[in-house]
Structure formats: structure tokens, C-alpha cells
Amino acid sequence: MPPKISKGMKIGAPEIFIEGYPWYEEKNAPCEPSCPAGHRIRRTISLIQENRFEHALENIRARNPFPGICGRSCAYPCQMKCNRNDYDEGIAISTLERAVFDHADMKKVRRPVKREKTGRKVAIIGSGPAGLTGAYFLGLLGHGVTVFEALPVLGGIPRVWIPGYRLPKDVVDREVSQIIELGIDVRTNTAVGVDIFLEDIMNKYDACLIATGMHKSMALDIRGEDSEHVISGLDFLKRVTLGEKIDLGEKVVVIGGGNTAIDAARSAKRLGVREVSVIYRRTLQEMPAHREDVEEAEAEGIKILYLTLPIKIERNKKGASQLECLKTMLGEKDMDGRRQPQKIEGSNFILEVNTIIAAVGETLDHSFLSATDIKGTQDQTIEVDPSTLMTGKKGVFAAGDVAWGPSSIAEAIGGGRQAAISIDCYLSGRSREQIRSIFIDSGGNLIMESSTYKDRETLPQGIVNYDQIVNFDEPGPSSYYEHKPRIRMKYSLSPEVKGFEEVKKGYTRGEAIDEASRCFHCGQCFKCAICIDVCPEDVFAMTEDGPKVSYPEECFCCGACALDCPCKAISIRVPLPAKVSVLQGGKPLIY
């Protein structure tokens, strides 16, 4: 057997003779299929590098109408998959998305062009990311859209339950307004099941999208939790956003380990509470809250008590609360792979507090579904067809948390777009293939492609991994790339923090361009022209779409272009059956 080329092997430059010729073939980077919202990340980064922020914003909004929100609150799974993580540090994708929103001149951003009115009407219940994303694309598709929202403001979780220090309210309002400007009808202060009933909506509209989110707090299930000094994390955050005055006292304990718990703790601190603590029954490694937010909370003076379990709440003689807790240790993993906390008997201790904020999880309020035949699941979500998001009731769809449980904003956006595509197919009788590309960029419109959420059929062929962009001479990416640390954002963190001013300051325009320049552009030509430089026969020409072989009859397929392409966007196309002979020192090698 011929020897294989392995990572880091020093083999020199082999002579390669192949029946075929080089071909630019766009491949996929690992970041893009990791984005539930379907963000075409490499295209955005390329446009930022070229200082074309307005075009970058149009590119993002082709799939996601909320770059300002996502750029500030996304858990960025795309960034975790970035090939640059194996070289130095992954690209700050979410911060670049925010920079596009912050710095694009809105007067120069092209507005999407709507299709002609279809005469069909769609009701959307809930105005969070899933509901408004559905409204956005359904509106562009020409359907009449009405949004029903129980609260006095639109925006769902980003507007009401994410504090302003993390996501300023004017950012949410700006992004919501550009959706409403499409002619969306809005009914705020209208709770379905109270002010209007789902059966009436289904009778008046041609289709309905349920996107209410999960806004019912789970119980602590301990004695004394019905005390007047105990409030839910969701209720607390909502009251803060809506401007209600809340007397928390000097000592507050937050129970829980998710994002709601950390947001509640940091909000209490900003309201002037002297001592704020968070208790969580597992360790930091199991904590579901974003690690970065936990570190910021600690920098603001918030104490986190790990391996601590609340067991009882009582009132003391001074009118405050006594929270009795036990210390825990982690046991074996359960069927879900989580280590369950075990009580350490005799480790009881008391925390004297003025207010307890319970933030142990959220669930769906099913009450408005009671008179319908829409089915729920054991996970307290609505049962849907995963390919269409239609419920058991014809013409009724569901997306976001109500369809697949607590999820990220990006997942809700991807689901909202998927639902819009499915609803349009349902109303028009078209197939998904027929509406795959409806808006054409060259005409000033946005491109609405098939959703990539749980649907990988539209991805380019292949994913370029780190091992494919390494040097043959030494481990690591091509010498074209330099080691360069990620551009750091400026922060405003202090134990004496007051008010809800945004903590993260984002990138300047120049910093965004510098950070974008770190991208490997995995699988996508960025016109570095190395292929042209290394070609011994000068057969290459650079076009707007990437390199092309202008004179294939003069190419003897040495393979230098494919070997030296930094982003591995050049393939050697070989007619079948292939005849490959790779020589190095008289020994055959596999290429």
C-alpha cells in the first residue's frame, strides 16, 4: 500500500499528474451549518472586510431580520465551530454581526420589495423572534399578516425579558419597526384565550402561526414558595422592563442557573440591592447560563453559591425570609447525560434574605389550546410535523420554544422562517423547491432561500475542516495566514454598577474590519490570487465568481493551485475512471 499523507508530515512538493483540471468549487465552512438562523457568515465577513456594511446588513436580513438583537444576545454556536479556534482564536462572529447593525448607514440600505398581495390572511400569536420572523417573510411574500400580542409592547423575550444592559430596548424597537413597516397589523394587549379565542382566529384567517414562547415560570416545589417575598424571575424581569417600582430590600437571593437567573441577579444589583447571591444545585460546568455572562456577574460583585439546594422558605420575626438550604454533591449521570445533585445530609444552613427570585425554568401555558384538537407533548410543547411545523390542526403551525422547548433566539428565527415558507406552500400550493429563491438581489430585493434549520439540503458540497487547510511543511494553516489575536471589545463592568447602560460597547468600524480580516474563508474564494501566482502555465484567470481555467488544454494538472489554495476552494475534477499517478522520489503517494 502507498503511504498516506498525514497532518504535519514533511513530504516536500510532489509532482502530480491527473486526468482532469482544476475547478473552483465553493465548499462550506463549519460555522455556517452551525447557525440555526441560516446566516451566510462568510459572505457577511467578506463584505465587512471590503467596508461594505450596508451590503452586509442586506445579506444578513436575507435570512434574519434581527442582526442587532442576535449580535448582542446569540450564544454563537457558529463561533464555537470556527476553524480558527484550532489556530489561535475563533472569529468573533456575533460581534461582527452587531457591528454591521451598528455602523451600516440605513439610508443606503436597500429595502426589500414585497410580492403582490395574495389576498390570504395569516394570524401570528406572539411577537417574539419566531413570530416576527414569520411575519417578516410572510409579509414579503404578499400575505396579509396580523400579530396578536398579550403585552403592551412587541418583541417578546428580547424586548421584555432580556435586560437593557445586555440588549438596549431601542435596538429591539428599531428592528421590530422595520418589520411592522411592511404593513403588518398589530394587536397588542390582546391575550389569546382571554381577549380573543384561538377558535375565532382559526375561523377568520387562512393560516395561523403559534409562537408564544414559554413564559410560565416553573415552581420551586418547596415549602413556603408562595410567600409574598418570593417572585418569579420572568415576572421580575418583565416588571423591571415595564418600569414598575419594585422594593427588593437589601439582600436578594436568586434560585437557578440559567440565563434568566443571571439576568435577574444583575438586574437586582442595578436596582440598588446591596447584596445579591445566586444559588445553583450543580457546578459551573453544568450551569446552563452563558459562561461569559456568569463571569460578568461575578465581576459586578454577585456571589454564586454552587452545589446548593433550597429546601424551605420561612418568615422570621423581622418580616424577612429565611431560606434553608442543603449542600449537594454530584452523583452519576442520568439518561440525559447530566449528573444529578445528591443531598449531603446534615449540611443545612440558613440564608437571611429580603427577596427570593425563583428562576428554575420556564414552561408553556397551554390554557389557550384547551378547546382545540392541537396536541401537546410530554415535554410540554406543541406537537408539530418537523418538516413543515404544522400542528395536528390543518393550517395551524407552531415555531420557537412552543414547538421544540427552550431554545436560542437564533433557533427561533430559523424556525420562524421555516414556518413562513411552510405557510406560503400551504396557502399557494407551491412546493418548497418552487419558492427556494424568491427575491433576487440584483433587483434590489432580498434573497429568501429555503430554511437551513434542521434542513441541510441547500448546503454547498463538503465542509472544509481545519485538517484540510494545513501546511505540508509544518502543522498549522497555510503561511498566508498570520497568528493574530481576536479584537477585544470594550466593557463597562464594576461592583458599583448602577443603571441599565449597555455593558458591551461593540466594535468600532475599523475594529470590525480588522477582525473580519482574520477569517480563513474556508471553502470560499476570497480572490487572494495565489492560484494564479503558482500556476506554471498561466492558465488561470480571476473572475467575479472566483478563479477559472481559461485555457484547459494547456493545463497539465500539476495540482499546485489546489495544494496552495489557502481556503481549499479549488478541487481537481477527475473524469471517471480516474487515472492518478503521484510521484515523489520514485514512490507513489495518495493525493
**Is residue 452 predicted with pLDDT exceeding 60?**
no
Sign of CA dihedral 229, 232, 233, 236: negative
The confidence score (pLDDT) of residue 435 equals: 58
- 586: exposed, middle or buried (Cβ count in 10 Å: 0-12, 13-18, 19+): exposed
Return d(Cα 283, Cα 280) in angstroms, integer: 7
Question: How would residue 145 be classed by pLDDT, with cut points 50, 70 and 90?
Answer: very high
Q: Which of 311, 329, 361 is the last residue of a domain?
A: 361
1: cell is 500500500
The pLDDT score that the predictor gives to residue 442 is 41
Identify whether residues 352 and 287 lie together within a single domain: yes
Looking at 248-252, 257-261, 460-464, 556-560, which range is the least confident one?
Answer: 460-464
| Residue 579, domain member (yes or no) | no
- What 8-state DSSP symbol labels residue 447? P
Domain-terminating residue out of 496, 516, 536? 516
- CA dihedral defined by 271, 238, 404, 176, rounded to 10 degrees? -100
User: Under 8 Å CB-to-CB from 586, ≥6 apart: which residues?
Assistant: none
Q: What is the mean pLDDT of residues 188-209?
A: 95
Q: Looking at the structure, tell me whether residues 150 and 210 fall in a common domain.
A: yes
Contact 84, 90 (CB under 8 A): yes
Instruction: Tell the residue number behind the cell numbers 413564559, with chain if given.
Output: 215
The total number of structural domains in the chain stands at 3
pLDDT tens digit sequence for 390-448? 999 999 999 999 998 888 999 999 999 989 989 999 998 877 666 554 543 343 333 44
- In whole angstroms, what separates CA 558 from the centre of its chain? 42
DSSP, collapsed to helix, strand or coil, labels residue 435 as helix
Q: Tell me: the pLDDT tens digits for 481-540? A: 888 999 999 998 888 888 999 999 999 999 999 999 999 999 888 888 898 898 988 888
Contact between 399 and 134 under an 8 Å Cβ cutoff? The reply is: yes
Last residue of a domain, one of 308, 330, 361: 361
Q: Is residue 577 part of a domain?
A: no
Q: What is the pLDDT of residues 179-192, one digit of tens each?
A: 999 999 999 999 99
Residue 17 has pLDDT above 50, yes or no: no
CATH code of the domain covering residue 150 = 3.50.50.60
Checking if the pLDDT of 12 tops 60, the result is no
pLDDT of 22 above 80: no
Higher pLDDT among residues 464 and 21, named by residue: 464
Question: End-to-end distance of the chain based on CA atoms, in angstroms?
Answer: 13
State the pLDDT at residue 587.
35
Q: Are 306 and 280 in contact (CB under 8 A)?
A: yes
User: For residue 415, which amino acid is it?
Assistant: G
Contacts of 471 (CB under 8 A, 6+ apart): 477, 478, 479
Q: Output the nine-digit C-alpha cell for 225.
A: 414558595
Confidence of residue 476 (pLDDT cuts 50, 70, 90): low
Q: Given this model, what pLDDT does residue 586 score?
A: 37
Residue 503 is predicted with a pLDDT of 95
For residues 490 and 401, state if they share a domain.
no
The number of angstroms, rounded, from the C-alpha of 171 to the middle of its chain's C-alpha atoms is 17
Residue 539: per-residue pLDDT: 86
Q: Do residue 334 and residue 231 come from a single domain?
A: yes
Q: Do the domain assignments include residue 78?
A: yes
pLDDT at 305 over 90: yes
Kindly write down the DSSP assignment for every residue of 301-317, as one continuous string: T-EEE-SEEEEEEEE-T
Mean pLDDT score, 364-385: 81
- 293 lies in which domain range? 218-361
CB atoms within 10 A of CB 528: 18
Going by C-alpha positions, the residue among 266, 274, 273 that lies closest to residue 299 is: 266
Same domain, yes or no, for 291 and 159?
no
- In Å, how far from its chain's centre is CA 168? 18
pLDDT of residue 71: 96
What are the beta bridge partners of residue 470? 477
Whether 240 and 356 share a structural domain? yes
